């Protein structure tokens, strides 16, 4: 092979290599498109989980939204230590709540668009709910006082009363809690149903239509959806005032009943959904706030969460409070 032939061969090889790299890059950059149901809608169906140790709001130990893998490893190790310490409540003469055998919060921080996140909230940049002083912050303080109120069953949380799941697991927005972070999405022509494992809630999203009058306030609000390409967009209004405050170890949130919550469900791979939400209400918040949560495919089946209204736990909680009151009264009487 002479010099000219070798030069031509090298040029051809380089051209083929360059073309191959370009083709690979084009293929890698090609957006994912969800398969279609038999009636033509993007297919979101399946079992999904949002289990994670990432919280709605940025914790005090985190100064930024995105962590390095090394920083994330430290945070995840501390979460593991917390679970281990939770099992030592009896050693501290504390009956506590659930021991860690019953907890399943996940072991990793959430990853969104390749970033390890310290909070689901991405706007405002602080990663905190932007409560207004006169609206949301005051209502949040009232809700926190309710957590310590054991005067009767009506003031206890809806989760304790087994009416809806606690910690906004059913939404909107749909948040991860300490266990049972599973969802089943089922579709039919004109409807999308999201079955929430905690507390066997079912969100029925009708595609198209209008919201009912403002005095109609079902649990989890009224949800109307539509498709924008492969993305299911859900607008929820008519929120039930009884769900305005909800609390979990991971989240304490006041959601103003007049809020408008917009959620976006986009299947970004065969095994992943990007769930986005924004909350708008000008009195309770100083600005619209937004969040992003990954949902991952999980194995089934999803079992019944057997929490029943009027269960013994609620009666026991109130009985314990009455005993504390008796003890305090006797102590006060003895001091006189």
**Least confident range of 24-38, 101-115, 249-263, 266-280:** 24-38
Domain map of the chain by residue range? 46-53+124-297
Residue 29 has what pLDDT?
56
Residue 68 has what pLDDT?
97
239 vs 27, more confident: 239
Residue 102 has what pLDDT?
85
pLDDT tens digits, one per residue of 253-303:
999 999 999 999 999 999 999 999 999 999 999 999 999 999 999 998 888
The reported pTM is 0.86
Residue 336 has what pLDDT?
62
Let me know: does 277 contact 290? Beta carbons within 8 Å. yes
* 162-176 average pLDDT score: 92
173 upstream amide cis, omega within 30 of 0: yes
166 vs 15, more confident: 166
Residues 6 or more apart whose Cβ sits within 8 Å of residue 307:
162, 199, 200
**Least confident range of 124-133, 199-208, 306-315:** 306-315
Q: CA 289: distance to chain centroid?
A: 15
């Amino acid at each position: 092979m002479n010099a000219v032939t070798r030069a031509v061969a090298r040029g051809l090889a380089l051209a083929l290599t360059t073309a191959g790299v370009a083709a690979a890059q084009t293929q890698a950059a090609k957006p994912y498109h969800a398969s279609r149901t038999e009636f033509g809608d993007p297919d979101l169906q399946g079992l999904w989980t949002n289990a994670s140790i990432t919280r709605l709001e940025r914790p005090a130990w985190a100064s930024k939204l995105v962590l390095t893998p090394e920083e994330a490893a430290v945070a995840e190790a501390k979460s593991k230590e917390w679970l281990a310490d939770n099992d030592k409540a009896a050693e501290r003469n504390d009956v506590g709540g659930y021991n860690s055998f019953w907890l399943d919060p996940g072991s990793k921080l959430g990853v969104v668009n390749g970033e390890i996140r310290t909070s689901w909230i991405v706007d405002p940049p602080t990663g905190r709910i932007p409560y207004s002083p006169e609206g949301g912050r005051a209502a949040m303080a009232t809700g926190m006082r309710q957590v310590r109120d054991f005067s009767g069953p009506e003031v206890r949380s809806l989760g304790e009363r087994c009416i809806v799941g606690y910690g906004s697991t059913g939404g909107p927005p749909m948040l991860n809690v300490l266990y049972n972070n599973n969802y089943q999405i089922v579709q039919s022509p004109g409807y999308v149903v999201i079955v929430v494992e905690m507390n066997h809630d079912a969100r029925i999203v009708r595609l198209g239509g209008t919201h009912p009058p403002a005095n109609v306030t079902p649990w989890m609000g009224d949800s109307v959806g539509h498709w924008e390409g492969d993305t299911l967009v859900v607008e929820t209004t008519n929120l039930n005032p009884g769900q305005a405050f909800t609390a979990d170890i991971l989240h304490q949130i006041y959601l103003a009943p007049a809020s408008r919550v917009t959620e976006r469900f986009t299947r970004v791979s065969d095994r992943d959904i990007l769930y986005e939400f924004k909350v708008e209400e000008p009195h309770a918040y100083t600005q619209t706030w937004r969040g992003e949560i990954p949902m991952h495919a999980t194995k089934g089946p999803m079992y019944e969460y057997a929490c029943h209204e009027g269960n013994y736990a609620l009666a026991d909680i109130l009985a314990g409070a009455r005993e504390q009151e008796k003890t305090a009264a006797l102590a006060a009487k003895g001091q006189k």
